[in-house]
Amino acid sequence: MKLNLKTKLIFIYIFTIALLLLINLLIVNHYTKQIYIEHEDEELVESMELCQNIYLDEIQLQNFNQLDIEMKDFNFQVQYENGKVVYSSPKIKTKKLSLKYNNVYPFFYNKKWSDGKEYRFYLDKKNISGIDIYFVTYISLTDELEFINEITVIIALLFIVSCIIIVLISVFFVNRAFTPVEKIINNISETTITNLDQKLKIESNNDILEKLFETYNYMRKRLGISFTSIKQFISDFSHEIKNPLSVIKSGIELTMKQPYIKEKEINVLQRTINEVDSINRMINEMLLLTRADADSLVLNLKKIKIKEIVEFVSDIGRIMVSEKQIEFKTENKIKNIQINIDEQKIKQIFINLLNNAVEYTQQGNITVMFQKNSDQLIFTVSDTGIGISPEELEKIFQRFYRVDKIRARENKHFGLGLSIVKTLVELHNGTISVKSEINKGTSIKISIPFF
């Protein structure tokens, strides 16, 4: 699963802080135990020195029978090298300690007994009157280590709570950091040619984000100027070229009426008039799309009986297929209701769709179906023509795109028809979709909501 940048930053932030807290937890646990052991070692050394001094003093005074060394938490025992117990403190009178010997004395070591408890031993060796005597004192570590472990569990729980808090803080700060960027993204998604002059308000104290906002606003300004220039050029060019084209067409038509013009020349002049008409049609289509881009194309809504649209489509469809071996039919599944639409623009939609269907269907049939659901009118134009490949389906609404470029050029099609259809459908707040298979045909479905 691909994560977005915001989620990645949140995870990185959480992982980094959680790792630092975990390391801190381990360090605290380790050094807490170490400090405790060092403290106990100091206590063991002090108790050993005290016990040795008492023991040796009593031996010198020959008070061995009266010797009684007892401390609250520490136990003390004296052994010969052969393991014979010489003296034990009262609590361990009946216990012989199994000692761990070493080459260097004194030294510390830990050992677990059968009771499951862990003890810390301090062992020392002294030579008295030529005899090696081992002195050992020890203390239980279990209670204190259990306490340390309880503290560790509490710290671990605090670690988990901290991680949850970190998650919430991370989400908050990352969202806050990305708010200006998301504002730009939302603004871009809402940008049209008509609102390029609107500046995005800078709401950040971050110099980088301020620079980003300034650059973005400057880009919008430049785009606005460019689009305005393009629209003005297209509009001026279209109007300027229409007049000479009208003069050319009128001149040709006047020339064709002259008695000295031969039939062959009339055919040439007629083809010229057809070219002029094609150019005029392209100019009108470009002007329509330009007005749509500028949001100056408005709907002239009025109540129209669906029956009138069906009759218009039926008449224009039969005229278009009259010179081909194509069966044309309409299927009306809507009762004679009235709909609030722009009649001329809806008719333009059907003319363009039927032009395409007739153009790319050599034989077979073309069907226009009228349906409705609870809140939409549905028009479907289906043919049994050459079809459109999946690769080209995504491009057919692009301006000047033609599926069959050779046939389109021969029939003076400029690739603007479906672009105009899509524009007019969206102007009615409708949707358009296409299904097609090569050599089987194409079906274009239009849904327009009731106004």
The reported pLDDT for the residue numbered 409 is 47
Instruction: Quote the CA–CA distance of 160 and 140 in Å, as a whole number.
Output: 32
Query: What does the pLDDT look like over 236-254, one tens digit per residue?
Result: 766 777 777 787 878 888 8
For residue 445, pLDDT over 80 is answered with yes
Would you say the C-alpha torsion 45, 51, 53, 59 has a positive or negative sign?
A: negative
The residues, ordered by sequence, that sit 6+ positions from 389 with a Cβ below 8 Å of its Cβ are 438
176 vs 314, residue with greater confidence: 314
Model confidence band, residue 369 (pLDDT cutoffs 50, 70, 90): very high
Query: What does the pLDDT look like over 76-117, one tens digit per residue?
Result: 888 888 878 888 877 777 677 777 777 777 877 777 776 677
**Which run of H or of E encompasses 76?**
strand 75-80
- What are the distances in angstroms from CA 284 to CA 20, 110, 318? 69, 98, 25
Tell the residue number behind the tokens 């002029």, with chain if given.
276
Q: Which long-range contacts (CB under 8 A, 24 or more apart) does 222-225 make?
A: 223/196, 224/193, 224/196, 224/197
134 vs 92, residue with greater confidence: 134
The residues, ordered by sequence, that sit 6+ positions from 428 with a Cβ below 8 Å of its Cβ are 299, 341, 342, 345, 346, 448, 449, 451
Helices (H), ranges, 121-256? 142-189, 207-256
- Asked whether 375 and 390 are in contact (CB, 8 A), the reply is no
> How much is the average pLDDT of 339-344?
87
> How much is the average pLDDT of 201-206?
66
> How much is the average pLDDT of 11-22?
79
**Which run of H or of E encompasses 384?**
none
437 vs 261, residue with greater confidence: 437
The reported pLDDT for the residue numbered 61 is 65
The residues, ordered by sequence, that sit 6+ positions from 103 with a Cβ below 8 Å of its Cβ are none
- Name the 3-class secondary structure at 296: coil
Q: DSSP of 214-247, one letter per residue?
A: HHHHHHHHHHHHHHHHHHHHHHHHHHHHHHHHHH
The reported pLDDT for the residue numbered 209 is 72
The reported pLDDT for the residue numbered 244 is 78
Find, among 197, 418, 448, the residue nearest to 299 by Cα: 448
The reported pLDDT for the residue numbered 408 is 45
Phi-psi region of 40 (alpha: psi -120 to 50; beta: other; left: phi over 0): alpha
> How much is the average pLDDT of 148-156?
79
23 vs 379, residue with greater confidence: 379
For residue 165, pLDDT over 60 is answered with yes
Partner residues linked to 371 by β-bridges:
378
For residue 335, pLDDT over 80 is answered with no
Domains and CATH numbers, the chain: 5-146 (3.30.450), 207-293 (1.10.287), 302-449 (3.30.565.10)
The residues, ordered by sequence, that sit 6+ positions from 361 with a Cβ below 8 Å of its Cβ are 324, 326, 383, 384, 385, 386, 441
Task: List the structure tokens of 259.
Answer: 């008695």
Question: Among residues of the chain, what percentage have pLDDT more than 90?
Answer: 8
The reported pLDDT for the residue numbered 53 is 81
Model confidence band, residue 224 (pLDDT cutoffs 50, 70, 90): confident
For residue 336, pLDDT over 90 is answered with no
The reported pLDDT for the residue numbered 382 is 93
Find, among 48, 45, 39, the residue nearest to 141 by Cα: 39
Model confidence band, residue 368 (pLDDT cutoffs 50, 70, 90): very high
Task: Please state whether beta strands 363-372 and 325-332 pair in parallel, antiparallel, or not at all (unpaired).
Answer: parallel
- Asked whether 289 and 424 are in contact (CB, 8 A), the reply is no
- Asked whether 359 and 325 are in contact (CB, 8 A), the reply is no
For residue 48, pLDDT over 70 is answered with yes
Q: Which long-range contacts (CB under 8 A, 24 or more apart) does 185-193 make?
A: 187/216, 191/220, 192/295, 193/224, 193/227, 193/231, 193/293, 193/294, 193/295
The number of C-alpha atoms within 13 Å of 256 and in the hemisphere containing its C-beta is 16
> How much is the average pLDDT of 373-385?
89
Find, among 370, 385, 378, the residue nearest to 330 by Cα: 370
Q: What is the number of residues in the chain?
A: 451
- Name the 3-class secondary structure at 116: coil
403 vs 266, residue with greater confidence: 266
Query: What does the pLDDT look like over 381-427, one tens digit per residue?
Result: 999 988 888 888 888 888 777 665 544 444 555 677 888 888 888 88
The reported pLDDT for the residue numbered 367 is 93
Would you say the C-alpha torsion 356, 361, 367, 373 has a positive or negative sign?
A: negative
In the chain, DSSP finds a helix count (H) and a strand count (E) of: 9, 12
Model confidence band, residue 433 (pLDDT cutoffs 50, 70, 90): very high
Find, among 423, 377, 379, the residue nearest to 397 by Cα: 423
65 vs 167, residue with greater confidence: 167
- Does this model's pTM top 0.85? My answer is no
Instruction: Quote the CA–CA distance of 52 and 135 in Å, as a whole number.
Output: 8
- Asked whether 438 and 387 are in contact (CB, 8 A), the reply is yes
